[in-house]
Structure 1
Amino acid sequence: MGLAEHELRSVSRVRSPPRAAGRSGPRLYGRVRTPVNSKDAESAEKRLNFRCGIVLPHLTRRHAATQWTRAPTPGNAMSAERAVAAARRPFVGETRRRIASGARKGSMNFVAIDFETANYQPDSACAVGLVKVVGGEIVDQAVHLIRPPTREFVFTHIHGLKWKDVANADDFGTLWPRLEPMLDGAAFFAAHNAPFDSGVLRACCARYGIRAPSLPFRCTVQISRRVWSIYPTRLSDVCAKLRIALNHHEALSDAMACAKIVLAAART
């Protein structure tokens, strides 16, 4: 099929309308209906490449817009690059306004969080870093090793941690109640690739019978794409672009970088 359902839930037919007499060359149209709560609109946009052209979603926050766009051809006045930028511009502006508005209202209170895991199980957290921001200022930070439920370590090559490093650490069930006060007054979590960190948090809470925090997550991958159009969007790429110091896959360094990305976006 070429398009995953989770990337673009509602793509209607792609068709070629009748050609005018005397005209030649491909004329490809695509009708794209972008879901209001699209988790990765930018990724969907990149994948909307068909044989003869590009279908561009026109993104807005409050409604799912439908945009018909002709495939770029040599005769088109607008290049493919300019067309992509034009389609993305309203969504970028909305993202900037939302972040900046939150800062002006004094709601720039959040906690940046980063988990490292021992293996493929989401409840195998072996380290966590948290950075608390109040009124747009970093006011607190914490980093802890966590003893996962099993000794299996698969991702040592990524973060350098082994079982012997965490064997005497607290498990998540013991540690998390001591960290929860850092969430007081926070409006949201910030994380790079937020679905991963939110999944780890929920899985660890479920494992130890703890009620998961109700704070929403904001993803600095999406913020970086929408505000600065950074691709690729690995944390190291974003930090290099924004000149943020990073010791990648060290939990506190990653969480600090996420906090600084959100703050930088609010100032943009």
Structure 2
Amino acid sequence: MSSFSSLDFVAVDMETANAQRASVCAVGVALVRAGEVVATEKILVQPPTGLDSFSALNRGIHGICAEDVKGAPAWDEVAGQLEALGSQLPLVAHNAAFDRGAYEAACAETGRAAQPIEWLDLLELARRLRPDSRQHTLPVLAEAYGVTLENHHDAEQDARACAEVLVEIAKEQGVQRLGELWPQGGQAETPAGAAVEAEVAEAEAPAGSGAAEGGQAVEAEAQAETAAPTGQDRGNSAFTPSALRRSRFNDDGPRPWEQPAPPREARTPAPHGNGAAPQQRGDAPAPQHQDRTSEGVRVAKKFGGAVMMLVALFGVMMTAAGVGQVVEDLTSGDSSDVALGVGMTAVFALISIWLATTALRWMRD
């Protein structure tokens, strides 16, 4: 993917209607060209049939309900837009395992074949670059890099914050290519056929041809970057989702992503002696850091979240018992303790909601 050699990418954030990962109800995207966020969009989605119930916990997190997604596109249409983007640019997400898992689960639920898209994880990158930091949540990273994030779990704002944090990290590290931040590449799975062909080609390659193949690889990469489609070409294709193409810009003017990209200079392969092949991007292993403190904090938060969820369930039971007692008092005509019962029941209900919401947030971070 030629954009892996530049700071062109799409930041993605997904929200779900309930605990089922396939129940995608919103997708936020932020398009980045040459290290600049040029467009953002929030696309509401009708969750797949059977998974379209909105839980109170999830509504409390992102504020989306069933009424909001009436008339919204189905997952099949939105998935096609994501795949059009993913065919041209890497997709970056904070905790990409969740967003990629939601994409694949929703595709499986609707009978759609998930495509091998390049996914890059901002959370994994932050843990590598900031091993001494106790937390690597998106709000923490946004604050650390001076990025505004007013409404966490709004899909569009989370996607924009993810994009801006990655741009700031690139500036801090002094890099111009995504490949310098992810030397081993992204999380895209290679189709089985392509993997078999690659293994056969490697097995049949004649001995001693490493240097020639290495030089050809560098030359081919330079030619591919020089021949990469310009912004105008991308704007005329399915490169950008329809929701982005029609938003926030006048129809009579060029969109930011339709501006021609600056021409790249073809790189001349440097000579290598002794038959040694030049080192390719991805050969160097990613730096490994021991982050026992951060890992301990994450485990403690997940355990604490589970305990809080149990306490919240107990609070729900107490709330139900309080409601039953109030009804019994009213039925028997004994109204002396009704006010106290209503007050205690309301307190238990509010505490239960707060505990459950906090527990879910802790277990997701």
* 1:108-257 equivalent positions in 2, closer than 5 A: 108-149=7-48, 150-154=51-55, 155-186=58-89, 188-229=90-131, 230-246=133-149, 247-257=151-161
- Structure 2 letter corresponding to 1:153: F
The residue that corresponds to 2:169 in the other structure is: 265
In 1, the alpha carbon distance for the partners of 2:7 and 2:114 equals: 22
Q: How far off is 1:185 after superposition? A: 2.4
Normalising by structure 1, report the TM-score. 0.56
In 2, the alpha carbon distance for the partners of 1:189 and 1:151 equals: 26
Q: Could you report, residue by residue, the CA deviation over 1:103-122 in whole angstroms, capped at 9, with x for unpaired residues?
A: 9x843222110000011111
In 2, the alpha carbon distance for the partners of 1:145 and 1:234 equals: 24
- Structure 2 letter corresponding to 1:225: R
Answer yes or no: is the 8 Å Cα contact 1:106–1:135 preserved in 2. Answer: no
Q: How far off is 1:179 after superposition? A: 4.4
What percent identity do the matched residue pairs reach? 35
Q: Could you report, residue by residue, the CA deviation over 1:102-146 in whole angstroms, capped at 9, with x for unpaired residues?
A: 99x843222110000011111100000111223322233321111
In 2, the alpha carbon distance for the partners of 1:183 and 1:137 equals: 18
- Structure 2 letter corresponding to 1:259: A
Q: Could you report, residue by residue, the CA deviation over 1:38-96 in whole angstroms, capped at 9, with x for unpaired residues?
A: xxxxxxxxxxxxxxxxxxxxxxxxxxxxxxxxxxxxxxxxxxxxxxxxxxxxxxxxxxx
- Structure 1 letter corresponding to 2:37: I
The 3-state SS of whatever aligns with 1:223 is helix
- Structure 2 letter corresponding to 1:113: V
Q: Flag structure 1 segments of 5+ consecutive residues without an equivalent.
A: 1-101
In 1, the alpha carbon distance for the partners of 2:36 and 2:5 equals: 11
Q: How far off is 1:156 after superposition? A: 0.6
Q: How far off is 1:164 after superposition? A: 1.3
Structure with the greater alpha carbon radius of gyration = 2
The residue that corresponds to 2:211 in the other structure is: none
- Structure 1 letter corresponding to 2:129: V
**1:185–1:204 Cα change, 3 Å:** same
Cα-Cα RMSD: 2.1
In 1, the alpha carbon distance for the partners of 2:35 and 2:5 equals: 8
The 3-state SS of whatever aligns with 2:27 is strand
The 3-state SS of whatever aligns with 1:139 is strand
In 1, the alpha carbon distance for the partners of 2:81 and 2:122 equals: 26
Answer yes or no: is the 8 Å Cα contact 2:87–2:117 preserved in 1. Answer: no
In 2, the alpha carbon distance for the partners of 1:152 and 1:139 equals: 34
Name the stretch that deviates more: 219-228 or 155-164.
Answer: 219-228
Q: Could you report, residue by residue, the CA deviation over 1:174-202 in whole angstroms, capped at 9, with x for unpaired residues?
A: 3332444333521x221111110010011
**1:190–1:179 Cα change, 3 Å:** closer
In 1, the alpha carbon distance for the partners of 2:34 and 2:86 equals: 14
The residue that corresponds to 1:107 in the other structure is: 6
Normalising by structure 2, report the TM-score. 0.42
In 2, the alpha carbon distance for the partners of 1:106 and 1:220 equals: 17
The 3-state SS of whatever aligns with 2:19 is coil
- Structure 2 letter corresponding to 1:237: V
In 2, the alpha carbon distance for the partners of 1:129 and 1:265 equals: 21
Answer yes or no: is the 8 Å Cα contact 2:16–2:25 preserved in 1. Answer: yes
Answer yes or no: is the 8 Å Cα contact 1:189–1:215 preserved in 2. Answer: yes
Q: How far off is 1:220 after superposition? A: 1.3
* 1:44-63 equivalent positions in 2, closer than 5 A: none
- Structure 1 letter corresponding to 2:29: L
The 3-state SS of whatever aligns with 1:266 is helix
- The structure with the greater share of residues assigned to helix is 2
Name the stretch that deviates more: 113-122 or 126-135.
Answer: 126-135
Q: How far off is 1:224 after superposition? A: 1.9
